Amino acid sequence: MSYYLRRMRSQDIAQVAEIDREAFSTQWPPLNFQQELRNRLAHYIVVCDDEKIAERPVVKTPSGKSLTGLASRLKRLFGRQLPGGDELSLPSSHYIVGFVGFWAMADEAHITSIAVREAYRRQGLGELLLMPVIDLARELKTSIVTLEVRTSNAAAQRLYDKYGFIQVGVRRGYYTDNGEDGLIMSIQDITLATFQAHLEQLKQEHSRKWGIALSQITR
């Protein structure tokens, strides 16, 4: 399969929210992705299946009108603002299979969520999403990357350990669905030459194992 990474757009919200619900069905309230995309501290990346096109559902404008067929063509003519005052972004046709989000604050990039569609799991895509976060965090002049992970999620902990995350604390009862603790894991300095060499080695190993080249993140 062929995949590519790019920045999340407002047109992606429906698909990303679907993936979020599938992965974090007990999380309440769910993430408000409209708000996240407006947040200058937040950064979201999606991974898309280059061989599949997303089905576009019938979408309703804020006034309740369906936006299909002729209305879609009118929207292309008039831009975002439709006659009558309705404003809407059509859903993306790119088939999104996973996403990752993080906040960059001062010297720290904090990963808030990372998820992959169930049908696409165990194919190296979670790791594929993790790598550009570290790269982008460095571009944003942060040196520390942190996240929380369930104490029971041994597979995720092994992945993070592989990338140099170490446990630095525990958030008691962090997960509200069952009161499970969250381990705080952190990479202490992603700017070190030794870490960057390790990261490059991991990228090459991932590419050889899964046959997925780590492409540049497009906007």
The answer as to whether 27 is a domain residue is: yes
The answer as to whether 193 is a domain residue is: yes
What average pLDDT does range 150-175 have in this prediction?
A: 97
* pLDDT exceeds cutoff 50 at 84: no
What average pLDDT does range 41-54 have in this prediction?
A: 94
Residues 189/205/135/194 CA torsion (nearest 10 deg): 30
Q: Which of 148, 174, 175, 180 is catalytic?
A: 148
The answer as to whether 75 is a domain residue is: no
* pLDDT exceeds cutoff 50 at 151: yes
Per-residue confidence (pLDDT) for residue 65, from 0 to 100: 53
pTM: 0.83
The answer as to whether 119 is a domain residue is: yes
Q: How many other C-beta atoms lie within 10 A of the C-beta of residue 24?
A: 15
Catalytic residue check, 160: yes
CATH code of the domain in which 96 resides: 3.40.630.30
Q: Which of 3, 44, 120, 160 is catalytic?
A: 160
Q: Provide the residue range defining the domain that includes 206.
A: 3-56+91-210
The fraction of the chain above a pLDDT of 70, given in percent, is: 82
What average pLDDT does range 194-198 have in this prediction?
A: 98
C-alpha radius of gyration, the chain, whole number: 19
Would you state the structure tokens that stand for residue 201, as one six-digit string? 């080695």
The answer as to whether 83 is a domain residue is: no
Catalytic residue check, 148: yes
Report whether 109 contacts 102 (CB < 8 A).
yes
Least confident of 52-66, 92-106, 189-203: 52-66
Q: How many domains does the chain have?
A: 1
The set of residues, in sequence order, having a beta carbon less than 8 Å from that of 36 and lying 6+ positions away, is 42, 44, 101
* Bridge partners (DSSP) listed for residue 46: 6, 99
Strands (E), 8-107: 42-53, 59-60, 66-67, 94-105
For 98-128, the DSSP string reads EEEEEEEETTEEEEEEEEE-GGGTTSSHHHH
Per-residue confidence (pLDDT) for residue 137, from 0 to 100: 98
Label residue 90 by pLDDT band (50, 70, 90).
low
